[in-house]
Chain A
């Protein structure tokens, strides 16, 4: 069993819809949680960082962490075609990040 599970998709949504992404993890020692966006042939771009359970909002992005269920989510409101990319969850402890497989998201006009 992988330490971090993420559905690779692809996930196709119409423009303006809410994109819902999630990851589950198995190791309760993980201490902090990040979401990255990666366009083809580019480096990952940090979208959200949190280390506590609950919600964190930044513009159109909302990250949720439920440590008791070992479950994290990312929601993208009012999705745009420019949001089409691969979204990676990353869960870490003491400098060692475990990435999910990445979910490919396609937002169609």
Chain B
């Protein structure tokens, strides 16, 4: 089983709303990632958690706040987003030993900010 589950699949939110994206994996992976993908562009790394600790933040604006409650779950809290933040948000996980292993992606949450 190489499944990474993301909820919700679609989300429409206003610029003053607070919402959260959720990601779950049960492969025993210890590294989890958030990526952002705009239309016809490759995914761009946002955050990396390794053993439940934030190890990489790619200078993401503070309106995006990641959280890793346990080794299976990863959340992305959203607040005061802008319309240009509309994108496909992808979660991924990997075994985490040295972070040099294959990464498996979820199906993404398609976010629209209005």
Contacts and interface: CB of A to CB of B under 8 A. Distances in A.
Interface of A: 31-32, 34, 36, 41-46, 49, 51, 88, 90, 92-97, 99-102
5 contacts: A44-B43, A45-B105, A94-B100, A95-B56, A102-B42
A32 B100 contact: yes
Given A31-B100, A88-B42, A100-B42, A95 B105 contact: no
A51 B99 CA distance: 12
Given A32-B101, A42-B107, A95-B48, 10 more contacts: A34-B103, A36-B105, A43-B105, A43-B107, A88-B42, A92-B103, A95-B56, A96-B45, A101-B41, A102-B42
B110 interface: yes
Interface of B: 2, 4, 6, 31, 33, 41-43, 45, 48, 50, 55-56, 88, 90, 94, 98-108, 110
Of B48, B88, B94, B103, chain A has the most CB atoms within 10 Å of the CB of B103
Given A42-B107, A99-B42, A99-B43, A93 B102 contact: no
B108 A42 contact: yes
A94 B103 contact: no
A95 B108 contact: no
B90 A43 contact: yes
